Chains A and B, each alone.
Chain A
Amino acid sequence: MPVWLREHSWRQTLTAVYLSLPLRGARASPANIFCSEQYLKVSIPPFLFEAILYAPIDDTNSTAKIGNGNIFFTLYKKEPAMWDSLTLANADKEKLQYLRENAVLKAHEKAKEETEAKKITKQEHKKYALEATMKLEEAERKRIEDLKEKERQKVSKELELWKNQQKDGDKYKSIQKKGELHQEIEPLKERKSEKMNKTRILNEGTSKTRLKSTKGHGSCSIFSQNLKEEQLPAPRAAATIKVNFTPRVFPTALRESRVAEEEEWLHKQAEARRIINSDLSELEDLKEEEKNPDWLKDKGNKMFAMGDYLGAVNAYNLAVRLNNKLPLLYLNRAACHLKLRNLHKAVEDSSKALELLTPPVPDNEKARVKAHVRRGTAFCQLELYTEGLQDYEAALKIDPRNENIEKDAEKIRHLIQGTMQSS
């Protein structure tokens, strides 16, 4: 049940009502005050004050001042008249309720209207701003266009000028040339024995002989011709240069090379390194280094080199439990199994290794060759010669220059043919 605040005091003038409401220690904020035309409510839980006002007031202009432990309302009357009392005297519950609801509704409507009005003004402002920027941009664009036009015209003028100069220059030269030809026909007639191909050189040498033929004597032109001969060396002695081209895996541009696949492979390798299958309970009693798959791999390799194949297998097993994405572990374990004559396991491991060695790139060529060879050997020892041959041929495809693989493949082929003949 709320605690009603009843110790309010009020006074009035013709146009306004001044209401002072002391708050019993409670702190008020604007959210606690609700006011509509004829209804005023202040609710600061648990305190409550409400009043059905005697006459309607102008609630938009009325104010409330919060401070000093009380709220001071300045309510402007809609109709200037003296009120008999602040509140309506005979306010029954129903009327109260009705008025309350009404008040709330009215307040809502007002709020809605306000937001609408705000929206509209906002839109208009936006529109205006947009138009303004558009105008500015247009102006800018126009300015640039004008600049360009000016440049263009300037340059066109220059070009015209230069062209006219050229034309004049040409005309001058052609007049000169005509003069030359007349002068040179005479010495040419004297010189019928001269080789005919010199006439071409004579034309070239026009610019040089121009000065000399003003003297108009045949002898000068001989000298000029000789000079020209020396200036142009004889045609080069014919020769051939042989070239080699840089070999390329793919005879097309970089964009079609296998860079993408190489990247994928590298990425996969990087990922594989990062995976550590944590099986903590069993690995707690291992030393730090024994948890490192690389260290284990090295240990395995050493044991394989010394001939301790079982030990090597153990090392690889542990390494695989820690990280089952490293293809080399499976590859090496396959080799161990081969030595131990666990042929099926060897096949399995080589297959797993090959699976992990996709995508096939030059980087993992050697590993793939090894995997194929080991699997092939295992198959052959299991007397599954055709499968074995398949693997050997795959290995050959990757590395066609390996003689050992060649020899072994040949042997298998003979074996197959031998068994086929005998069966």
Chain B
Amino acid sequence: MSAAVGAERPQVVSHVQQALSYTVFDCRWVPRSARLLCLGSAARGTGIIQLYELHGARLELLREIEKPKPIKCGTFGATSLQQRFLATGDFDGNLNIWNLEAPELPVYSVKGHKEIINSIDGVGGLGIGEGAPEIVTGSRDGTVKVWDPRQKDTPVANMEPVQGESKRDCWTVAFGNAYNQEERVVCAGYDNGDIKLFDLKTMSLRWETNIKNGVCSVEFDRKDINMNKLVATSLEGKFHVFDMRTQHPTKGFASVSEKAQKSTIWQVRHLPQNRDVFMTSGGSGSLHLWKYEYPAQRSKKDSEGSEMGVAGSVSLLQNVTLSTQPISSLDWSPDKKGLCVCGAFDQTVRVLIVTKLNKI
């Protein structure tokens, strides 16, 4: 499967390991720095935000902030590089944006959902992409809402079930296709295996499919380009890579799927410096590094003459088992190629370095 020779394969080296006294649900690098954030839930039912700095072979705790409700997810995606405000979603359905220098009161706060916010994503900030900064949240109440930090209380877009329809938990959301000021697309994955693609410019459902198993994580390879690839991971160890350049009127997008491990694949994250490399983290505490290869022709004509996409192939570059518990969160550093942080349910956060990424 892998074309890389043994000695030349990227190696995943564990650099630092830090034991925490709470359950960590999300870990993020602070952009343009060697600092990382851990978000989670303490045993007494409150939320914890911890800010660490990487010092040699250890992590130094710079700041610990406690909040009344446990925090599930966070993102820096919608703030500017100077401000670096953190947007978090908590177990109560509140969306808050914090200034980490002055974290007592949030900069923006709204009770966005009736139930836990499972996933959050931001676009338009950090000097990446164009257009208004927006945050999307997906919740257990089955709705997906898009927020603009300049507009209080009401979401800018709301994707909710039809009246009377039984709701399904939304487990993951991701922004994509933000290559100019008007275009935006939100992809949401649900627990019954539905993947829905919403176009925010036309405010309509652009595509939907069902991959049979609950969708744990979706991510576009880049948020700020014409949508190129989407990876969706699910329960039972499968993930699908969709080629998003060509949409067929009935068949949708072409995809290739891979069964990586027997357990749930919790997260997928693309390497910021190379959009064809991504890492998946699994319920068995393992990390797999994959590379996508494009097919010779990305689209072909079907019998009626309409264009349909051709999916490429995925090869495993490396895999490593770090923990016995699921690795629930993963983040690549946008500044240093190969540096990543992962948080697992064994209450440890690990900083890893993936070597030899230049050679693939």
Contacts and interface: CB of A to CB of B under 8 A. Distances in A.
A and B: real partners?
yes
Interface of A: 148, 151-152, 155-156, 159-160, 162-163, 166, 170, 200, 203-204, 206-207, 232-246, 248, 251, 253-255
A236 B148 contact: yes
A242 B15 contact: no
A253 B235 contact: yes
A170 B84 CA distance: 14
Given A156-B57, A203-B83, A243-B205, A238 B156 contact: yes
Nearest to A230: B181
Nearest to A155: B353
Contacts of A148: 11, 13
B212 A156 contact: no
A166 B160 contact: no
Nearest to A167: B34
18 contacts: A151-B11, A159-B15, A159-B336, A166-B34, A203-B82, A235-B132, A236-B146, A236-B157, A236-B200, A238-B156, A239-B203, A241-B203, A242-B161, A243-B162, A245-B190, A251-B168, A253-B193, A254-B213
Contact of A241 (B133, B158, B192, B355): B158
Given A163-B34, A255-B236, A238 B162 contact: no
Interface string B139-175: 0001000101011001111111110011110000000
A246 B165 CA distance: 10
B213 A253 contact: yes
B317 to A, nearest CB: 16
B132 A236 contact: yes
B54 interface: yes
B: contact size bracket: 35 or more
A203 to B, nearest CB: 6
Contact of B339 (A159, A234, A241, A255): A159
Shortest Cβ-Cβ A-B pairs, 9 listed: A235-B148, A236-B156, A239-B203, A235-B151, A240-B158, A155-B353, A246-B210, A163-B34, A204-B80
B355 A248 contact: no
Interface string B230-253: 000001100000000000000000
B161 A244 contact: yes
A224 to B, nearest CB: 15
Given A159-B34, A248-B192, 10 more contacts: A155-B338, A203-B83, A234-B132, A240-B158, A242-B159, A243-B196, A244-B162, A245-B166, A246-B193, A251-B192
B335 A166 contact: yes
A177 to B, nearest CB: 8
Interface-central residue, A151, A155, A200, by most chain B CB under 10 Å:
A155
Nearest to B149: A235
Contacts, number: 129
Contacts of B192: 245-246, 248, 251
A233 B159 contact: no
B204 interface: yes
A173 to B, nearest CB: 9
Interface in B243-285: none
B155 A246 contact: no
A121 B200 CA distance: 81
Contacts of A155: 13, 15, 338, 353, 355
B250 to A, nearest CB: 16
Most chain B CB atoms below 10 A, which of A234, A241, A242, A254:
A241
**Of A162, A233, A236, which is in contact with the most chain B CB atoms at under 10 Å from its CB?**
A236
Contact of B157 (A156, A200, A240): A240
Interface in B176-218: 181-182, 190, 192-194, 196, 198, 200, 203-205, 208, 210, 212-214
A228 B44 CA distance: 45
Contacts of A245: 142, 161, 165-168, 190, 192, 194
A253 B339 contact: no
Contacts of B235: 253-255
Nearest to B11: A151
Contacts of B83: 200, 203-204
B13 A152 contact: yes
Given A159-B353, A245-B192, A238 B154 contact: yes
Given A204-B82, A248-B192, A251-B192, A232 B132 contact: yes
A151 B213 contact: no
A166 B166 CA distance: 50
A233 B15 contact: no
A240 B160 contact: yes
Interface in B58-83: 80, 82-83
Contacts of A239: 156-158, 203
A320 B158 CA distance: 61
Given A245-B161, A246-B210, A206 B82 contact: yes
Contacts of A203: 80, 82-83
Contacts of A232: 132-133
B57 A233 contact: no
B353 A242 contact: no
A82 to B, nearest CB: 77
B148 A170 contact: no
B33 interface: yes
B56 interface: yes
Nearest to A242: B162
Nearest to B336: A162
